[in-house]
Amino acid sequence: MTSILDLGVYRFAIEGCPSFILPSLSTLYDDSLGLFPDKPIDFHLTIKNTSLLRRLIKPQVSIYFDNQRPFHPIKKSLLLPSIEWGLNWCIASFDFNHLLIHSSVIVKNGKAIIFPAQPGSGKSTLATYLGLTGWHVYSDEMAIINLENQQVRPMHRPSSLKNKSIEVIRELIPDATMSPVAVGTHKGDIAHVKLTTRAGFNALCDADVIAVVFPKYRENQSLSIEELSQTAGFSRLVHHAFNYNVLGIDGFNTLKSVVDKSQFFNLSYSSYDGLNAFFSDLVM
């Protein structure tokens, strides 16, 4: 069967979607699953079983993206995170109509703060916590910035948590809607968290970026906030942009406009106490 995922900015068709994965997709994506079936599709994903022998012994599936197979076959129990990574791969590889920055994005009062960071920094955990305590999360993976008005665009997607972060969110937000944990991926254990309904997503608008925060979770670290220059901020944003070089002058002008409007900070922390107040002050 084929399932349609409408993320707002992008639309995906998932062919061969097995029935066992549909409850998780339905829970995480709400009415975005199967929405607008007659609208054009941006990306096609196809899920296929591997050889007959593998179907009988340790069954695996492969995911194809417009007839490409960029990832190795996986166990069926790892299909949900693999689909999510596949969506990210399609966007990062083929969208040249936006500036894409590897970062989480939170929004309040129509103003956006982005969290560019290396894997393991805690950006997704931080964005998830804020998204469940009064903020809108436009993405926990990439900022999608319009080349024409330099505003960041929302996507209707869950957040992705790894390893210890899963228990952190369970303890902080016990009633969070979370997928079953996929154990033993190449990134460890993975779970996804629903952050908004489709109706909530429909109320969101593109937003101006007014701050860029580079977060780093460190055990036993007291809250440390260091303001950075716009020059340093520009350099670090280039490092986190997926397609800056490909976009050429459009990429430069878009990034420069974002930098000109933004404050920049390094943030180190081990507790979430006080973080909401810091971010809220930035968007007053």
Kindly report the CATH number assigned to the domain that includes residue 121. Answer: 3.40.50
Residue 52 pLDDT level (bands cut at 50, 70, 90): low
Tell me which of 50-64, 131-145, 218-232, 251-265 is least confident: 50-64
**Model's pTM, two decimal places?**
0.93
64 and 124 inside one domain: no
Q: How far is CA 266 from CA 79, 210, 229, 263, in A?
A: 35, 15, 11, 11
**CA atoms of 284 and 280, how far apart (whole Å):** 6
Domain stop point among 94, 113, 136: 94
Q: What is the pLDDT of residues 167-198, one digit of tens each?
A: 999 999 999 999 999 999 999 999 999 999 99
255 and 205 inside one domain: yes
44 and 102 inside one domain: no
Domain stop point among 94, 114, 142: 94
Q: What are phi and psi of 281, to 5 degrees?
A: -60, -35
170 and 237 inside one domain: yes
143 and 243 inside one domain: yes
Domain stop point among 94, 124, 143: 94
Partnered with residue 2 across adjacent β-strands are 15
Residue 121 pLDDT level (bands cut at 50, 70, 90): confident
Write the DSSP assignment of 211-228 as a string of letters. Answer: EEEEEEE-TTPPPEEEEE
Alpha helices in the chain (DSSP H): 22-29, 52-56, 79-94, 123-131, 164-172, 198-202, 230-240, 244-247, 249-260, 275-282
Residue 120 has what pLDDT?
A: 82
Asked whether the predicted pLDDT for residue 214 surpasses 80, the reply is: yes
Identify which of 114-118, 121-125, 211-215 has the greatest average pLDDT.
Answer: 211-215
72 and 209 inside one domain: no
Residue 117 pLDDT level (bands cut at 50, 70, 90): confident
Asked whether the predicted pLDDT for residue 47 surpasses 90, the reply is: yes
74 and 213 inside one domain: no
Residue 42 has what pLDDT?
A: 96
Q: What is the pLDDT of residues 58-106, one digit of tens each?
A: 778 999 988 888 888 899 899 999 999 999 999 999 999 999 999 999 9
Task: 270-273: list long-range contacts, CB under 8 Å, 24+ apart.
Answer: 270/217, 270/218, 270/219, 270/220, 270/221, 270/222, 271/223, 272/126, 272/129, 272/172, 273/223
45 and 132 inside one domain: no
Asked whether the predicted pLDDT for residue 107 surpasses 70, the reply is: yes
Asked whether the predicted pLDDT for residue 239 surpasses 90, the reply is: yes
Domain count, the chain: 2
In the predicted model, what is the mean pLDDT of residues 266-283? 93
Residue 185 has what pLDDT?
A: 93
Residue 51 pLDDT level (bands cut at 50, 70, 90): low
Residue 54 has what pLDDT?
A: 59
Domain of residue 231, residue span: 98-284
